[in-house]
Chain A
């Protein structure tokens, strides 16, 4: 596609509910990233995939957060038993490279999650 697409754009969840956020990266992009952006803050790294391999999940805040990219394209970020502190914008980014030189990351518009 023309850009990184995320769905839904907005999600309201009751505390304790499970949610799944979807990311469609730019076609052919090897690397995929998830970031969490709290209100008034910059994005914070959650996890990184190279194709289907999750190479870094050091930023996931708890074991309630789980991400997958089973076929090396679309990715899903799942949050189990949501809590109010999970309210944030979740950003997905993709970039062309895998190993080798760093290349630009392109961001989606994000999913705004509100836990009530």
Chain B
């Protein structure tokens, strides 16, 4: 079965700092990759997704992620964070196994941005 690892459980940054959150997955076949964000008291929202093509994908609110197949990684980046980016971030994978449609999530990274 596939698994997803997010190595940073809690990241604290000051506004304008650059952000990189790590995500590694374990599955050797074709995957779809996602980053979801959960703001306090709100539901999970999709930040960005990779299905195929250009491995550098851009999402909402200035976020981007790079798929590196050889490293089984899909790290999330943002050049300059804002206080409003404080939230929990989840990496997720959909592995192409039969008709499987479910997502496998990492354990999440809590980002706190200090004003």
Contact = CB atoms under 8 A, between A and B. Distances in A.
Interface string B25-59: 00000001000100000111110010100000000
B105 A109 contact: no
B43 A99 contact: no
A107 B44 CA distance: 6
A45 B1 CA distance: 12
A107 B34 CA distance: 14
Given A40-B107, A102-B51, A108-B43, A45 B99 contact: no
Interface magnitude class on chain A: 20 to 34
A31 B43 CA distance: 18
Contacts of B32: 102
Dominant secondary structure at the B interface: loop
A106 B102 CA distance: 12
Chain B interface bracket (under 10, 10 to 19, 20 to 34, 35 or more): 20 to 34
Given A104-B46, A104-B49, A109-B43, A43 B105 contact: yes
Nearest to B106: A42
Contacts of A59: 102
B49 A43 contact: no
Interface of B: 4, 6, 32, 36, 42-46, 49, 51, 90, 92, 94, 99-108
Interface of A: 3-4, 31, 33, 35, 40-45, 48, 50, 55-56, 59, 91, 93, 95, 97, 99, 102, 104-110
26 contacts: A3-B43, A33-B101, A40-B108, A41-B107, A41-B108, A42-B92, A42-B105, A42-B106, A42-B108, A43-B103, A45-B102, A45-B104, A48-B101, A48-B102, A50-B101, A56-B100, A56-B101, A56-B102, A59-B102, A95-B101, A97-B101, A99-B99, A105-B103, A106-B46, A108-B43, A110-B43
